[in-house]
Amino acid sequence: MKKWYKEPYFDKKIWILENFDKLNLNASEGMLLLLIDLCKSCKRPITYEYLTTKLHMDSKQIDKLIASLVAKHYLKLTTNAKGLVFDIESIFEFDPEKYEISANKDLFDTTEEVFGRPLSSTELQKMNDLIEEYGQSRFIEALRISEAQRKIKMAYIEGVLRNEKL
């Protein structure tokens, strides 16, 4: 079955721009994602020379951007016979609308929605501890990563928070 974001009518650039704030991207990360998508749609090779020229950055800055996007699970790097392969499809695997937290919908409700069930008392306590230790915005980012990886467990969220710099 074909993924919804692989349909010919789906415009990845518009989706990235529309969800830019919900994806917690800075301007440089967003531009890098858009350039990768542009190269893929035009069947143009993605090289450091191209990226440094377009983004007016040196290769160390490009490396930091790539590392940040990999840590957020928005970019996967692999290699093939032709060289490095940039894959941004995982960014489309979750619905950013689930993470829009408004005044009338708190973080606990959002987390339960992502888990697809009410949280146990142990999970609620762990969630409270994680929010207290790492902050709400970092918890939300870890929750996004958890869903994108389809590992929706409080232990996985905790691991993301402990092991990654969000």
pLDDT tens, per residue, the chain with 166 residues: 567 666 777 788 888 888 887 787 889 999 999 999 999 999 999 988 999 999 999 999 999 999 888 888 888 988 888 888 899 988 887 565 555 444 335 788 888 888 888 888 888 888 888 988 888 888 888 888 888 888 899 999 999 998 875 4
- Tokens 């919900």 belong to residue: 22
Q: Which two tokens stand for residue 121?
A: 């008392």
Domain that holds residue 83: 4-92
Same domain, 72 and 13: yes
Same domain, 8 and 88: yes
Q: What is the DSSP letter of 91?
A: G
Q: Which two tokens stand for residue 5?
A: 């974001």
Nearest-angstrom CA–CA distance, 67 and 164: 11
Last residue of a domain, one of 77, 92, 107: 92
Last residue of a domain, one of 92, 119, 147: 92
Q: How many domains does the chain have?
A: 2
CATH of the domain at 86: 1.10.10.10
Using CB atoms within 10 Å of the CB of residue 119, give its burial: 0 to 12 exposed, 13 to 18 middle, 19+ buried: middle
Same domain, 13 and 88: yes
Amino acid at 46: I
Tell me the Cα Rg of the chain: 17
Helices (H), the chain: 12-18, 27-41, 48-55, 59-71, 107-115, 121-134, 136-148, 154-163
Same domain, 15 and 51: yes
Same domain, 60 and 77: yes
Rounded to 5 degrees, φ, ψ at 54 are: -70, -35
